[in-house]
């Protein structure tokens, strides 16, 4: 066996990170448009970003040239819900045209409904601190699904809840920059209810049978050796230690197994929440960049290979992640993000990103190992299709296969884009070279 015939070879993006047009066609401001001074590196913002909103046809032509089978993008909630339950038809129209363009080019759309762009009015109402979010997410999901579900089959309810809740409301490092650990249980509870409401809305209003997943930010402990003991120890660290719970189990267990979670004696996801919010998914979306980091440890870890943001690069993580998650939940998986940021410059229209080629190869070889051992994986989306606006780090880290020259919005294939194109064209055989 190897990569399945119908494997969804793809790339990923998200709305705010690429679209620009932050106040066009009836869009309201989101928490990511209202950035206090000093919160983002070099005080950058995403008002223009890659201008994908205006250049989407050219971008789809590049996707076609890359040869991808699928494209994961997100809908900006602030384009669709400018105020309360008002629905902005012009916002919906943009995504409808994008879906048409993708399908006309033989590319399967994978739609993420929420990738962190909460309308500012909803944040002012309380954001994740209030249960009112549930109602608005339900109205939002209904509007999008009614518009696109005659053509879209793959739906992702939320992207990385651990990041938009914990980085946004607990650590205060991402929008809306709130720092309050005591919110952990409450904001999580509101999220679990919103996720259930959105999943139910997709199934209720979809015109074609939908396949629904959620993209979890996940990181596995890589066993020291492949002995039985070391594997069990790594599994235990991944799912049962305090940092393992907050990084993985806190969201995975309640959503996928209706199982309560508890950490540090005070934070918990109750049995009641699990029961009220359980709505089985069709696949598990996994975003993975680095293996598990134990934030409670006083020892500073040393890594063989890291990226410019200090995250460990280790392809074995993708093997252990997919294996551990499958063995715990027994459901199909989809790798919805995985990628390498680099500081890069364009020279004579080229970017020689050997390090990214090495990264892609290492992670995909490990993914293939899991598939060969029987783990069902529906697809892999490299993050990201093109360079874009990275949460708190602005434009310096470039994750793309396609280089974006922000001065004139020209796009250029990096060497890694040609490499990934060959991997897709050979169904993974290229990895053997």
Query: What span, in angstroms and rounded, lies between the C-alpha atoms of 1 and 7?
Result: 12
- The nearer residue to ligand NOJ, 160 or 362, going by C-beta atoms, is 160
In angstroms, the CA 237 to CA 324 distance is: 11
Query: Which member of 7, 11, 14, 147 binds ligand NOJ (CB under 6 A)?
Result: 14
Map residue 342 onto helix, strand or coil: strand
The residue (of 34 and 83) whose beta carbon lies closer to ligand NOJ is: 34
User: Residue 84: left (phi > 0), alpha (psi -120 to 50), or beta?
Assistant: left
Pick the closer one to ligand NOJ by CB: 167 or 199: 167
Measured distance CA(186)–CA(155) in Å, rounded? 26
In angstroms, what is the minimal distance from the CB of 427 to ligand NOJ?
26
Q: What angle do CA 315, 317, 321 make, to 5 degrees?
A: 135
| Residue 383 engages ligand NOJ in binding (rule: CB under 6 A) | yes
**CB nearer to ligand NOJ: pick between 123 and 216:** 216
Hey, what's the torsion of the CAs at 82, 87, 91, 94, to 10 degrees? Answer: 170
* Comparison of 368 and 390: residue with beta carbon closer to ligand NOJ: 390
From residue 287 to residue 306, the character string flagging contacts with ligand NOJ as x (rule: CB under 6 A) and all else as - is x-------------------
Quote the least distance from Cβ 390 to ligand NOJ, whole Å.
5
Binding string, 249-288, against ligand NOJ, x = CB under 6 A?
A: --------------------------------------x-
Interface pick for ligand NOJ out of 33, 51, 138, 337 (rule CB under 6 A): 337
- Least CB distance from residue 400 to ligand NOJ, whole Å? 11
In angstroms, the CA 15 to CA 335 distance is 19
**Residue 390 contacts ligand NOJ per CB under 6 A:** yes
Marked catalytic residue, from 160, 279, 362, 368 = 160
Cα–Cα distances in angstroms (integers) from residue 424 to residues 58, 102, 105, 414, in the given order: 21, 17, 16, 16
Number of shown-chain residues binding ligand NOJ (CB under 6 A) = 9
Burial of 282 from C-beta contacts in 10 A (0-12 / 13-18 / 19+): middle
> Per-residue x/- marks for ligand NOJ, 120-159, CB under 6 A?
---------------------------------------x
Cα dihedral angle (236, 315, 60, 346), rounded to 10 degrees?
Answer: 130
Cβ atoms of residues 117 and 77 within 8 Å: yes
Nearer to ligand NOJ (CB atom), residue 52 or residue 391: 391
Known active-site residue 224: no
- 250: three-class secondary structure by DSSP: helix
What are the beta bridge partners of residue 110? 72, 154
E-strand ranges in 210-293 read 211-217, 261-263, 267-269, 283-287
CB 215 within 8 A of CB 112: yes
What's the min distance (Å) between Cβ of 336 and ligand NOJ?
A: 8
Question: Could you tell me which of 77, 176, 126 has the C-alpha nearest to residue 391?
Answer: 176
Q: Interface with ligand NOJ by CB under 6 A: which range of 60-68, 144-152, 370-378, 383-391?
A: 383-391
Decide if residue 312 touches ligand NOJ (CB under 6 A).
no
The single residue among 101, 160, 312, 353 that binds ligand NOJ, judged by CB under 6 A, is 160
337 vs 353, beta carbon nearer ligand NOJ: 337
* Residue 18 CB, nearest approach to ligand NOJ (Å): 10
Known catalytic residue at 337? yes
**Which residues bind to ligand NOJ, rule: CB under 6 A?**
14, 17, 159-160, 287, 337, 383, 390-391
**Catalytic residue positions, numbered:** 160, 337
């Amino acid at each position: 066996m190897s990569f399945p015939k119908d494997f969804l070879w793809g790339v990923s993006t998200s709305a705010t990170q690429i679209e620009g047009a932050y106040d066009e066609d009836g869009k309201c401001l989101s928490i990511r448009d209202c950035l206090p001074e000093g919160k983002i590196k070099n005080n950058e913002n995403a008002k223009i970003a890659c201008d994908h909103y205006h250049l989407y046809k050219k971008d789809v032509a590049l996707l076609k040239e890359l040869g991808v089978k699928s494209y994961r993008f997100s809908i900006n909630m602030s384009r669709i819900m400018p105020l309360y339950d008002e629905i902005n038809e012009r916002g919906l129209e943009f995504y409808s045209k994008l879906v048409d363009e993708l399908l006309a080019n033989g590319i399967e759309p994978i739609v993420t409904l929420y990738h962190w762009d909460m309308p500012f009015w909803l944040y002012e109402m309380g954001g994740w601190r209030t249960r009112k979010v549930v109602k608005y997410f339900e109205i939002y999901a209904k509007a999008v699904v009614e518009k696109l579900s005659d053509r879209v089959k793959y739906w992702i309810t939320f992207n990385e809840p651990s990041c938009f809740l914990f980085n946004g409301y607990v650590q205060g490092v991402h929008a809306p920059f709130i720092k309050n650990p005591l919110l952990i249980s409450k904001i999580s509870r509101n999220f679990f209810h919103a996720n259930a409401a959105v999943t139910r809305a997709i199934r209720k209003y979809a015109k074609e049978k939908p396949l629904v997943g959620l993209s979890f930010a996940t990181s596995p402990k890589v066993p020291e050796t492949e002995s039985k003991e070391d594997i069990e120890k790594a599994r235990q660290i991944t799912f049962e230690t305090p940092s393992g719970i907050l990084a993985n189990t806190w969201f995975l267990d309640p959503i996928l197994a209706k199982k309560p979670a508890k950490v540090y004696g005070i934070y918990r996801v109750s049995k009641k929440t699990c029961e009220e919010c359980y709505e089985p998914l069709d696949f598990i979306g996994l975003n993975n960049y680095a293996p598990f980091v134990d934030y409670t440890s006083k020892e500073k870890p040393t890594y063989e290979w890291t990226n410019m943001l200090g995250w460990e690069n280790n392809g074995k993580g993708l093997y252990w992640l997919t294996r551990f998650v499958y063995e715990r939940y027994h459901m199909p998986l989809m790798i919805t993000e995985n990628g390498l940021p680099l500081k890069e410059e364009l020279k004579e229209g080229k970017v020689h990103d050997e390090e990214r080629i090495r990264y892609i190869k290492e992670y995909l070889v490990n993914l293939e190992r899991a598939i060969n051992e029987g783990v069902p994986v529906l697809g892999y989306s490299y993050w990201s299709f093109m360079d874009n606006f990275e949460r708190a780090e602005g434009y310096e880290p470039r994750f793309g296969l396609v280089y974006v020259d922000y001065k004139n919005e020209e796009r250029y294939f990096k060497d890694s884009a040609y490499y990934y194109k060959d991997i897709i064209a050979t169904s993974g055989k290229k990895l053997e070279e």
